[in-house]
Structure 1
Amino acid sequence: MKRIYKSISVLLLSGYFLSCESIVDNLNTDPNNPTDAPASLVFTGTQLANVVVQEGIASLLGSIWGGYTTGYDRQWKDYGLYNVTAGVYDTEWNNVFRGVVMNGQITINKATTLGNRKMVGITKVLMANSVATATELWGDIPFSEAAQISAFPHPKFESQQNVYTKTLALLDEAIADLASGVGTVGAEDIHFGGDATKWTQVAYTLKARLLMDTKQYEAAFAAAEKGISTYANSLYAPHGTTTGVNQNQFYVFLTQSRPGDISAVGAYNVGLLNPAGTTYRGNAKTIETARYLFYYQPTGVNTRGVVEPNTSSTTTAKGFFGMDARFPMVTYMENILTLAETALRTGKGMTAALGYLNTYRSFLNAGGYIDATYRTAATLKYEPYVADDFATGGIENKDGLTPENALLREILQERYVTFYGTHLGWNDERRTRKETVSVKLQPANGTQLPWRFIYSQNEINSNKNAPNPVPGIYEPLPIYK
């Protein structure tokens, strides 16, 4: 506005005479509330909306119900005990369908008019990322009629299986668009600056994620083979240090908006990583201290005196949820561990599966994604496993499982530990909950673990096609029945 006023002053002082018509032109136009924007700006807005989806309730509540953190105070203590209402999910639902899907559709239309297939392809990946998260959390959701209010004021909910099928098809379209080489994307892409190779790999890893959810393991392996091939190609949400602008959302929640509401007291993941715990997963070849300290602030480190998610943001200690810490959305870590699990599940043999797992352990041994402020020779070790480690009596098979099941348990546990802070660990836990080998979470309240989020109260109230009766949190999602 200052620039607008300055421009008007310059014109007047320069002796220009404005007609009465020009004075009242656009009088009712609010420059702070534009009704349209170029494709590049809507595209960036769609990217930011997807970041909000991945770091919002999906991360906060998914982490609690997935055993990474615990609800400690006020409403979040109740949420941790599975006492939630539909209104809790209004913002997240809106972020998915208005923030990402609607803006994504606008971006695609604008980019198509410009002949920019690269922007179209990236946008489809973003939409697939958010829609995948939504169906993983809620099950049946609107898809074909979603976020088109004028045409479909009451969008129909589609079966979860249909949503998976259509999201996979959307990713295939994105891959074809990116392969076309048509169009340009630069700085408006906050993640990769328009790098089509990186976006293509992200699309394949997302495909593998969806195929894992539905236990199509052979297809998941094939997709992951074309997925993210190096840590540098991982899709992270970038963050900065400006308050109210670009800080890590988990950091803001834990330190500014709701300090004290979430801790990690009694969290399952703490037990796995804490060297002083009775369920510590370390062994002669594995030291998890660095990862534990990167993830958590142990008792006595913080003012509250209880173990908490690590929000440290100093030059000597940068926690996983630090002020400017990047947030993982689709990563190399997920992809290589998908290859490990699916190689074992599809009969490619222990040697192949162990090879992928050891590739990942080598990555961790070199520091991996753990911030350098926590890496020392005494706190970090991931030596390669050999087949004998999973034989009866081996360091990873003290309880007499078959070697294959012992290796599967280690891969699932490694996936679980790696997916800290996201909803992906809860995805895996639900996918394998009924199987013999799985991460065995215990309910925080009662005798049941939750299976899903509740539909948004706003959606229930405004959409006559919303499910009725509304399924509760203990109703398994269709893919898990």
Structure 2
Amino acid sequence: MKKIISLMVVALAMILFIAGCSKITEDYVKGYDTDPLSPTTAPSPKIFVGAQAAFIEFYEGFPSKLAAVWAQQATGADRQFASFDIYNITANDFSNDWFLAYTRVLTNLKITQAKAKDEGFMNLYGAARVLEGIHMGNVAALWGDVPYSEAAQPEKTLTPKYDNQIDVYNAAIAALDEGIQVLQQNTADLPQDIYSTGGKVAKWIKAAYSAKARYLMHLARKDNYPTTILDQVIQAGLNGITSTTRTGTAPAAGYGADDFVFTHGTVQGGNMNLWYSFIVVDRSGYLRALKCFATKMLGSRGASEAGRFNYYFTADSNDLNTTRAYATNAYFPVIRASETLLLIAEAYARKGDLANAVNYLNQARTYVNNIFGTTLSTNLTPADFGNDQTQVLQAILNEMYLALMHQVEVFNFLRRIDYRVNYVDGDGNIVWLTPKRGTQFPQRLFYPQSEVSTNPNTPKQTSDDLYSKTRVNGGTK
């Protein structure tokens, strides 16, 4: 962290040079590169765009690809990714993502917030708080105990302490709550916004509530899903992203009217979809499908899932579809309405309210039909599951697995439910997700070697820690 935070004064300048993010911001919002070498004098809207671009690079970059491989929604087929596919990974593989998470996302969000207050952009301050909450909840989910309370504060320390993962979750939720409160009082459109929200404050508020529902469900796992937290999940979810109405045009299948997504253009090294860039331009052959578990699950459902199958995968199940889900300008989801609806459904199912659980499962299936052109039944009743709580819950979890296709959150979700997803094959056998190697699934990312070497507060780790659960999932660190 010492090396990372010491780079704060050039955080925005780095956006102009690393992984094409300068082109991302240039193509999305002209003029971002005004005075790039003096970020503290740049106006807060420009800094916010930089933070957003870095968040795209983190969330749509390596963590999402690794999550897809470990969730068996894609297959590591060549070079490093063939090793990642069977869980061979080291601390050195995460240095860039840690740098992104702290120096380029969190630091720029903190600068945005301070300057937005000074400049009177309280709506921008609120949105930055929301994005910080979404981001740090995800960072905590991926790594466990992480710096937060002392992070991105080089004037105080270059070796910040590591906070308990549960405390980071609660702080992230507090950031979301503050962002919601501020945005409810400052409803004018944001001065700049490169996401699908188009700067609409109402959409940022919905995204905040959905993220809150997501992280509350993470926390619920720790205490075996107490009713008090499940009720909070439902309340947050109902205020979140729930629209099943489609918007958007080809080559993307479209997305829900309130979905929180990254929009993309067609400029290579710029605003292009980062998965297309990786699969087609940068590392062709590294990431494929090769009849992975997700293709088999979708295939087991027959013609009703043809639309979603064809959106994500090629007809032979061997590759990801680079003309639809991963076309050059295809959007990339952060929070879909289907996830929020399924969180509500899961909360009701765990409470034993099967009528409401199946109702929200049906709404999630309506979303899938509208977005992907599937023909899933949307008039299911508890009787279709034998009025059995376990069967209703399993149907919801299986649907969530598909709803989070190729997102970072699918890794967080699977660890929360101990990877318990399944499908029924053509012979009527229940097929469960199983590890690619050995008997254990990955449970966390490694702290990068750059952090281990420079911050003495970094928790001790060994190669076995890859399989060590984080606190929220029943672990000890």
State TM-score, norm by structure 1. 0.81
1:316 is matched with none
2:8 is matched with none
**Against the structure 1 CA distance between its residues 167 and 265, is the aligned structure 2 distance closer, same or farther, given a 3 Å change threshold?**
same
**Identity percentage over the alignment?**
31
1:307 is matched with 318
Letter in 1 for 2:318: V
1:289 is matched with 306
2:468 is matched with 475
Distance 1:333 1:260 in 2: 31
SS at match of 1:323: coil
**Against the structure 1 CA distance between its residues 82 and 187, is the aligned structure 2 distance closer, same or farther, given a 3 Å change threshold?**
same
What are the Cα deviations for residues 244-298 of structure 1, in whole angstroms up to 9, with x where unaligned? 1101111111111111011112411111012xxxxx134xxx7111111111013
Relative contact order, higher structure (CA 8 A, sep 6+): 2
The structure with more radius of gyration = 1
1:53 is matched with 58
Match of 1:268 among 293, 316, 321: 293
**Against the structure 1 CA distance between its residues 183 and 266, is the aligned structure 2 distance closer, same or farther, given a 3 Å change threshold?**
closer
Match of 1:251 among 266, 270, 276: 276
Contact map agreement 1:46 1:126 (CA 8 A) in 2: no
SS at match of 2:466: coil
SS at match of 2:365: helix
How far the C-alpha of 1:345 sits from its partner, in A, is: 1.2
Asked whether 1:241 is paired with 2:271, we answer: no
Q: What RMSD over aligned residues (CA atoms) do the two structures have, in Å?
A: 2.1
Contact map agreement 1:115 1:183 (CA 8 A) in 2: no
What are the Cα deviations for residues 271-329 of structure 1, in whole angstroms up to 9, with x where unaligned? 1012xxxxx134xxx71111111110133xxxxxx7111112xxxxxx21111110000
1:227 is matched with 240
1:360 is matched with 364
**Against the structure 1 CA distance between its residues 184 and 111, is the aligned structure 2 distance closer, same or farther, given a 3 Å change threshold?**
farther
Asked whether 1:465 is paired with 2:429, we answer: no
Contact map agreement 1:408 1:437 (CA 8 A) in 2: no
SS at match of 2:439: coil
Match of 1:144 among 144, 149, 157: 149
Distance 2:217 2:209 in 1: 12
Asked whether 1:164 is paired with 2:189, we answer: no
SS at match of 1:473: helix
1:81 is matched with 86
**Against the structure 1 CA distance between its residues 273 and 436, is the aligned structure 2 distance closer, same or farther, given a 3 Å change threshold?**
closer
Distance 1:137 1:176 in 2: 27
**1:206-225 mapped onto 2 (5 Å cutoff):** 206-215=211-220, 216-225=229-238
Distance 1:358 1:434 in 2: 23
Contact map agreement 2:263 2:331 (CA 8 A) in 1: yes
1:387 is matched with 382
What are the Cα deviations for residues 190-228 of structure 1, in whole angstroms up to 9, with x where unaligned? 432331111111111000000111223222111111111
Distance 1:290 1:350 in 2: 28
Letter in 2 for 1:390: F
1:112 is matched with 117
Distance 1:430 1:468 in 2: 22
Letter in 2 for 1:229: T
How far the C-alpha of 1:115 sits from its partner, in A, is: 2.4
**Against the structure 1 CA distance between its residues 114 and 296, is the aligned structure 2 distance closer, same or farther, given a 3 Å change threshold?**
same
Distance 2:175 2:457 in 1: 24
State TM-score, norm by structure 2. 0.82
Letter in 2 for 1:98: T
**Against the structure 1 CA distance between its residues 43 and 32, is the aligned structure 2 distance closer, same or farther, given a 3 Å change threshold?**
closer
The farther-off stretch of 403-412 and 428-437 is 428-437
Contact map agreement 1:42 1:107 (CA 8 A) in 2: yes
Asked whether 1:405 is paired with 2:390, we answer: yes
**1:33-52 mapped onto 2 (5 Å cutoff):** 33-35=37-39, 36-52=41-57
How far the C-alpha of 1:31 sits from its partner, in A, is: 5.7
Distance 2:311 2:272 in 1: 18
What are the Cα deviations for residues 101-160 of structure 1, in whole angstroms up to 9, with x where unaligned? 100010000001122221111001111121111111111110011122232100111010
SS at match of 1:162: helix
SS at match of 2:257: helix
2:434 is matched with 442
1:395 is matched with none
SS at match of 1:288: helix
Contact map agreement 1:66 1:423 (CA 8 A) in 2: no
Contact map agreement 1:362 1:384 (CA 8 A) in 2: no
Gaps of 5+ in 1: 1-29, 275-279, 300-305, 313-318, 392-401
Q: How many residues align?
A: 412
Bigger proportion of residues as helix: 2
Asked whether 1:432 is paired with 2:434, we answer: no
Distance 2:287 2:357 in 1: 36
Gaps of 5+ in 2: 1-33, 221-228, 244-255, 424-430
SS at match of 2:120: coil
Distance 1:185 1:269 in 2: 38
Contact map agreement 1:68 1:267 (CA 8 A) in 2: yes
Contact map agreement 2:345 2:357 (CA 8 A) in 1: yes
